[in-house]
Amino acid sequence: MPKSSNQKLKLLYLLKILREETDEEHFLNSQQLIERLARWDISAERKSIYDDIARLMDFGYDIVHVKNKAGSGYYMGSREFELPELKLLVDVVQASRFITQRKSRELIQKLEQFVSAKEATQLQRQVYVAGRVKTENESIYYNVDFIHRAIQENRQISFQYMEWTLDRRLVPRKGGERYVISPWALSWNDENYYLIGYDAAADQLKHYRVDKMGSIQLTALEREGGSAFKSFDIAAYTNKTFGMYGGKEETVSLEFADRLIGVVIDRFGKETDIRRLAEGTFRIRVKVAVSGQFFGWLTGLGIQARLTGPPDVVEEYKEYLKKINKLYEEGRFEEA
C-alpha cells in the first residue's frame, strides 16, 4: 500500500498531537497516537511510535512516559511557558487599556497554543474583566512597534496628536499640525502607554499618550535631546507626575494619618523621606508636578491628608478647593 503524502510529516503531526491534547493530567498511549495520526492519513505502528518519541526527546522535547494504575501513555512535560505564567500574561493582556478587545482576543488565542486544549480552557475562564474600558484605537498595537523601531534607528518621528470630540470622534489637534519629536522611551503608567520624547522647539522632554498618536511617520532626521534624556529618571518622573499631567515641579511637605502609609509608599516608593510626627501621623517631603491632578489626588484622601508647604503651593491648593466649592454654590462653571 503506497504511503500518503503526509507520511513525511509524521514527526510534526505527532508533536502537534502531544502539544494540543496532552498535559500532566491527560496522556495518550501508543494506540491512541496511532489512531490520531490516521486522521491525517498517516500510518504508524507501535514500534515506530516508540522510535519517533525517542527522536523527539533526543531533539530536546520533554515528553514523559507514564505508567500507573490508570494505564500508560505519553504527555508533553515542560513547555515554553508554564500554565501559571500564561494565566498571568492573559490577565495583563486583558487588563491593559491600550490593547483593543479584538487584539486582546487574538493575543490570548495565540497564548493558548502554548498549552494543551484542556489547559487552554483555564485561560479562557480568566479572559473577562468586568467594566474594563479598552481603547478603540487599533493602530496603537503597531504604534508601539513603530516607536521602538525609531528609537533603534536613532530617528525622529512625526505624528498627529488626537483628541476626543463630544460626538465621540478622535480628531487631530491644532488643525492637523504634525508634531516632530525625538523618541527616547516608552512608559506604561496609569494603565496607558506613553512616549517620552524630546521636543526641540520647546527644548524639553515631553510625554504623549500612544493611543492618541495618529499617522506616525519616520523622518530622516537624527534624534536630538540625548543629553537631556541621559539625566532623565523615568521612575522618578512618573512618581511625581499625577496622571501623567505636567506642572510646575516643587518639593512639597505633606502630612498623613498613619493608616495611609501604604498609599504613600505605593505612590512615591519605599525610599521616600518619611518622618514621624505626633502619635498617629507622619510627614513626607517629595518632588511633585503641581497640577490639578495632584490636587485632585490629595483631595481624594480627605481629612486624612494635609498639604503643609511651601506656602505658595498651599495657597494655590486652597484656591483650588474654593473654586470647587464655588461651583457647587453657584451651580455653574467659571468662564475659561
Q: For position 335, what pLDDT does the model report? A: 60
Q: For position 255, what pLDDT does the model report? A: 94
**Which residues of the chain register pLDDT less than 70?**
1-4, 95, 97-98, 124-138, 166-168, 190-191, 236, 238-247, 333-336
Reported as type and span, the H/E element at residue 50 is helix 46-59
Q: For position 329, what pLDDT does the model report? A: 83
pLDDT digits (tens, 9 = 90+) for 35-59: 989 988 888 888 899 899 999 988 8
Look up residue 211 and give its three cell numbers.
493611543
Q: For position 159, what pLDDT does the model report? A: 94
Look up residue 242 and give its three cell numbers.
499625577
Q: Which fold has domain 140-226?
A: SH3 type barrels. (2.30.30)
Q: For position 82, what pLDDT does the model report? A: 79
The CATH architecture that domain 7-76 belongs to is Orthogonal Bundle (1.10)
Q: For position 200, what pLDDT does the model report? A: 92
**Angle, CA 243 vertex, CA 240 and CA 245 arms, to 5°:** 75
Q: For position 136, what pLDDT does the model report? A: 59
Could you give the residue ranges of the DSSP H alpha helices within 60-126?
Answer: 83-95, 101-112, 117-124
pLDDT digits (tens, 9 = 90+) for 160-172: 998 877 666 778 9
Shortest CA distance to 139 belongs to which of 169, 102, 172, 168? 102
Q: Which fold has domain 239-330?
A: Alpha-Beta Plaits (3.30.70)
pTM of the model: 0.54
DSSP β-bridge partners for residue 306:
255
Q: Could you give phi then psi for residue 286, rounded to 5 degrees?
A: -140, 155
